[in-house]
Amino acid sequence: MSRVWALARKDLVQVVRDKKIAFVLVVMPLVFTAAFGTAFERADEAVVPRVLVLADEASREVAAGFLRLLEDPGGLDVEILAPSARESAIDEVKRKQAQAVVVLAPASASALRRAERPSLEVIADQGDTEASLALRRIEATVFRAIVAARAAPAGPLDDAVAAWQGRAAVQRLAFGVDGDKLVPSGMRQASPGILIQFAIMSLIGSAGILFAERKQGMLARLLAGSMSRSAIIAGHGLAMFALAFGQMLILVVGGQVLFGVEYARAPLGIVIVLVAFGLFLAALALCIGAFAKKEDHVVLLSLAAMFALSGLGGAWVPLDVMGDTLKTVGHLLPSAWALDGLQNIVVRGQGAASTLRPAGVVLLWAVGFGALAVWRLGRNTATRA
């Protein structure tokens, strides 16, 4: 076991002693988080989509309270219309004079009164940027309306809204009701997304060390020196995991302290996700180091993994606004599940239990890549021996 630790320590020293690596893996992600998070938030604040709410007389009281939450602090220009105006309202969406139509039927109004999630009919062009923003804000408003009704269940929703607007403690709970999803934006999207992207970038350094040792015959010499193949793989894998986990942990602390992203809401859940994704990255780095035939291949394969896992996994743009097809494709990748686990906490306000399923899926990927790496490295060391 001491040899495993010694090999892992040697790999870590080789990576972290280069100050440029520390800059790329720690400083740059924090800078990118600040830049993209601020840009997302300012872009969102600068746009005020127009939303038309259709409500009959029986639902008007609830619609009035719902409207208050949509307008302030919902960031939407809202107009309440009678159900008979449905066709003209849809026509305004088609002409882009409005971004969404919300049908607040009596059953939906009753659900809001009971502090239950309503079944809303929302009509919008999801391919339109402002419409996507409107959908995110409507979704956020549904959460606020439910929490508002729970804050004052005995009174009308309008009174509950006033109670919600005056209670910061309730406002912090507004992003996680009954396990439903809320699309992230601003820092809540940028911080976990950048964390995932740059954690994958760490593959370049760790996989490069394994590749160099393989090409220089070091693996064969270690085998000849009574160190078992499993111990060699464990030592390199441990170093790769420690590098990825340590980097992600630093970025989590930075996101909490510098940008107010609430990772500390459920620290155990965050650790579960980081451990699972760190194991996956270690397995992937072992694969890259084992399969690469040239030094350039290590960089190319690492960058390809970063772009594919980040872009398709929702690190750059939330999958919930990319359409059902891309959302389905994205969730074929472990990065999307890791993001789900992180955002279940920082966006949806859920607890550690909400990370178990996403972490489990990521671990399955880690086992698969780990088995592939062990097989390939076994062939490599057997060839060199």
pLDDT at 235: 85
DSSP secondary-structure letter at 57? G
- Structurally, the chain folds into a number of domains equal to 2
Residue keyed to tokens 């309306």:
145
Asked if residue 141 belongs to a domain, the reply is yes
Asked if residue 178 belongs to a domain, the reply is no
- My answer on whether 19 and 121 are in the same domain is no
- My answer on whether 200 and 155 are in the same domain is no
**For residue 50, how many other CB atoms are within 10 A of its CB?**
17
Per the model's pLDDT, the better-predicted residue between 25 and 173 turns out to be 25
DSSP-assigned letters across all residues of 355-380: GHHHHHHHHHHHHHHHHHHHHHHHHH
Cα–Cα distance measured from residue 199 to residue 162, given in angstroms and rounded to the nearest whole number: 43
Cα–Cα distance measured from residue 19 to residue 299, given in angstroms and rounded to the nearest whole number: 19
- My answer on whether 357 and 233 are in the same domain is yes
Asked if residue 362 belongs to a domain, the reply is yes
Task: Name the nearest CA neighbour of 302 among 289, 319, 320.
Answer: 289
Residue 272: band (very low, low, confident or very high) from pLDDT cuts 50, 70, 90: very high
The residue range of the domain holding 322 is: 2-40+185-384
- My answer on whether 77 and 210 are in the same domain is no
Per the model's pLDDT, the better-predicted residue between 224 and 364 turns out to be 364
pLDDT at 253: 93
- Return all residues near 375 (Cβ < 8 A) that are at least 6 apart: none
Write the pLDDT tens digit of every residue in 120-155. 788 887 667 677 777 777 777 776 666 666 655 555
- My answer on whether 367 and 220 are in the same domain is yes
Asked if residue 177 belongs to a domain, the reply is no
| Domain end residue (candidates: 172, 201, 232) | 172
- My answer on whether 21 and 68 are in the same domain is no
- My answer on whether 93 and 217 are in the same domain is no
Helix axis angle, 229-259 relative to 187-201, nearest 10°? 150
CATH code for the domain in which residue 164 is found: 3.40.1710.10
Task: Name the nearest CA neighbour of 79 among 105, 95, 97.
Answer: 97
| Domain end residue (candidates: 172, 200, 218) | 172
**For residue 82, how many other CB atoms are within 10 A of its CB?**
12
- The two structure tokens encoding residue 49: 């989509």
Report whether pLDDT(214) > 90: no
Asked if residue 142 belongs to a domain, the reply is yes
**For residue 51, how many other CB atoms are within 10 A of its CB?**
28
DSSP secondary-structure letter at 51? E
- Return all residues near 67 (Cβ < 8 A) that are at least 6 apart: 53, 78, 80
**Torsion sign over Cα 11, 14, 17, 21:** negative
- My answer on whether 370 and 255 are in the same domain is yes
Asked if residue 126 belongs to a domain, the reply is yes
Asked if residue 338 belongs to a domain, the reply is yes
| Domain end residue (candidates: 172, 207, 224) | 172
- My answer on whether 245 and 210 are in the same domain is yes
Asked if omega into 106 is within 30° of 0 (cis), the reply is no
- My answer on whether 208 and 259 are in the same domain is yes
Cα–Cα distance measured from residue 91 to residue 85, given in angstroms and rounded to the nearest whole number: 10
- My answer on whether 110 and 190 are in the same domain is no
Report whether pLDDT(165) > 70: no
- My answer on whether 379 and 239 are in the same domain is yes
Write the pLDDT tens digit of every residue in 26-77. 788 888 888 776 665 554 445 677 888 888 877 777 777 777 767 665 567 8
Helix axis angle, 187-201 relative to 28-46, nearest 10°? 150
